[in-house]
Amino acid sequence: MTLKTYRGSCHCGLIAYEADLDLTHGTAKCNCSFCLKARAWKAFIKPAAFCLLRGEDAAVGYQAHPQASRKFFCRRCGVRTHELGCADYLGGDFVGIFVASLDDATAAELAAAPVRYADGRDNNWRSPPAETGHL
């Protein structure tokens, strides 16, 4: 286990956070309608491992439907930083960190991070879709 405290932010810096996560434990991509359009790449942690340092007033939440996680993006620059949700297959409440918003993750750490794929388009979250190359 390589638990590390990462700092992350939006592009303009209005939103900043810290997250204790282990990128070697894995990251995720899926083909749901949001992630496909946003090219989202996430790492999931428990809420206690996340601290919003600034920007609560700058973070705009988007939720496609009541069961979907609430994704937060900066009202000024539009960069997605994190999402909040609850899913049994993730052990309950979670924070999804948009990996691209990590400020201090090295290229080597990101390249070595395993990726788990989920078939969100078909609500088959525990299995990968047949095709993942485009994700």
Strand blocks (E) in 22-108: 27-30, 42-45, 50-54, 59-62, 70-74, 80-87, 92-98
Strands 70-74 and 59-62: antiparallel
Nearest-angstrom CA–CA distance, 120 and 87: 13
Q: What one-letter code names the amino acid at 135?
A: L
In 3-state terms the chain splits into helix, strand, coil percentages (rounded to 5) of 20, 40, 40
**pTM of the predicted model as reported, rounded to 2 decimal places:** 0.92
Q: What pLDDT score was predicted for residue 123?
A: 86
Q: What pLDDT score was predicted for residue 133?
A: 86
∠ at Cα 98 (49, 41), nearest 5°? 125
Q: What pLDDT score was predicted for residue 1?
A: 66
Note the CATH architecture for domain 4-118: Beta Complex (2.170)
Of 101, 4, 104, the closest CA to residue 55 belongs to 101
Full pLDDT tens readout for the chain, 135 residues: 689 999 999 999 999 999 999 999 999 999 989 999 999 999 999 999 999 999 999 999 999 998 899 999 999 999 999 999 999 888 999 999 999 999 999 999 999 999 999 888 998 888 898 898 888
Where do the structural domains in the chain lie, given as residue ranges?
Answer: 4-118
